[in-house]
Amino acid sequence: MSFWRSAGFWINVLLVAIGGAVVLLIHQDTLRETVFTILMFVILASSLNIIMGLTGYVNFGHIVFFGLGGYFGFFLLSQLGWPLYLCMIAGGALSVVIALVVGAAVLRLRGAYFALATIGINEAARAFVANFAPFGGATGLYVNFSAYNAYGGSSKALWWIFTLLWIVTIITVVVCYLVKHSRFGLGLIAIREDEDAAMVMGVKTPWAKTAAFALSAFFPALVGTLYFFKNGNVEPEDAFRFQLSLEILVMVMLGGKGYVLGPIIGALAYERLRGVLLVSPLFKNLHLALSGAILLLIVLFMPGGLVGWVRDRLPRLRRWLE
């Protein structure tokens, strides 16, 4: 069946497309900032879902690609004056190359060993950037405020950045859907279920895993470049936040790993949940602890996340919730 005839495809795409379009139509700054964060999380969680949800490889270092790709994109923008969209693509390309090289080595590891290696990669990347002079070392890089003039002034630039992020979100969701429903995606799912059996059945597992890893690395770099440009600066501590890596993982688990809709729902639910907890006098100091408890409950009682839970109880909705 062609993907454009699938209800599941349109639900996923329309959810993010309408979400962003409403913000652009209402044109309210506060709403834009709130949705910016949600869309950013949707991209990070959806891209992580390609390697974690489909292949079953738990990646604690997904934020590396946000950091490295974003750093490179921001470097081109701030030091060489490249246009924003080219910087995004260049940042994404570098992330893919790094993922191919790193993936070829670490994807030979399985289970907990792979997960541990990804933590090490994050630390190594942060230490490298903090000592890499062209990226400003520990001090980082920044752009002059006048850089926004090229986009019609600072106010318009914020809307321009949001629009680009919205487009990237839609592309990410479409790519995730296409990957999941492709022959390549079936190979990844086979690896998740039983890697040895997948090899016997003819899946080229090293190639498939590395390709999935590289694909999942592309989109965080685009977000990183946009996010750092919006901030006006980039520093190692912001670019390689391990806590954000964990939060993305929680989003994927909360929404449902392996489903395209899962990270979208997970990002939205986690962001809103965090917002509610932070203004609650009782939970404001415990929101991370509560998030951890929620993750534990999901793993124990709802391993398919919110989407998986609904699909199990309402089988008729399965063709809608993919």
- Amino acid identity for residue 23 in this structure: V
Give min distance, CB of 61 to other proteins, in A. 18
C-alpha closest to that of 239 among 18, 68, 62 = 68
Residue closer to other proteins by CB (options 182, 285) is 285
Residue closer to other proteins by CB (options 182, 280) is 280
Give min distance, CB of 91 to other proteins, in A. 19
Residue closer to other proteins by CB (options 155, 182) is 155
Residue closer to other proteins by CB (options 37, 163) is 37
For residues 45 and 267, the answer to whether their CB atoms sit within 8 Å is yes
Rounded Cα distance between 241 and 126, Å, is: 9
Strand segments (E) across the chain: 141-142, 233-234
User: Cα dist. 170→27, 248, 251, 266 in Å?
Assistant: 19, 18, 18, 16
User: What does the binding site for other proteins look like in residue numbers (CB under 8 A)?
Assistant: 28-30, 32-34, 36-37, 40, 127, 130-131, 137-140, 142-146, 148, 154-155, 157-158, 230-233, 235-238, 278-279, 284-285, 287
Residue closer to other proteins by CB (options 131, 182) is 131
Rounded Cα distance between 171 and 183, Å, is: 19
Crossing angle between the packed helical segments 242-255 and 287-301, to the nearest 10 degrees:
40
Residue closer to other proteins by CB (options 8, 73) is 73
Residue closer to other proteins by CB (options 63, 212) is 63
Rounded Cα distance between 250 and 52, Å, is: 12
Give min distance, CB of 230 to other proteins, in A. 7
Residue closer to other proteins by CB (options 161, 191) is 161
Rounded Cα distance between 140 and 68, Å, is: 12
Give min distance, CB of 43 to other proteins, in A. 13
Rounded Cα distance between 115 and 120, Å, is: 9
Residue closer to other proteins by CB (options 141, 214) is 141
Chain center to CA of 47: 4
Give min distance, CB of 45 to other proteins, in A. 14
Give min distance, CB of 8 to other proteins, in A. 30
User: Cα dist. 261→216, 254, 315, 320 in Å?
Assistant: 16, 11, 16, 10
Give min distance, CB of 286 to other proteins, in A. 9
For residues 40 and 288, the answer to whether their CB atoms sit within 8 Å is no
Would the CA dihedral through 168, 173, 178, 183 be positive or negative?
Answer: positive
**Which pair of tokens denotes residue 267?**
């990002």
Question: What single-letter DSSP state applies at residue 203?
Answer: -
Give min distance, CB of 36 to other proteins, in A. 8
Give min distance, CB of 2 to other proteins, in A. 38
- Amino acid identity for residue 216 in this structure: S
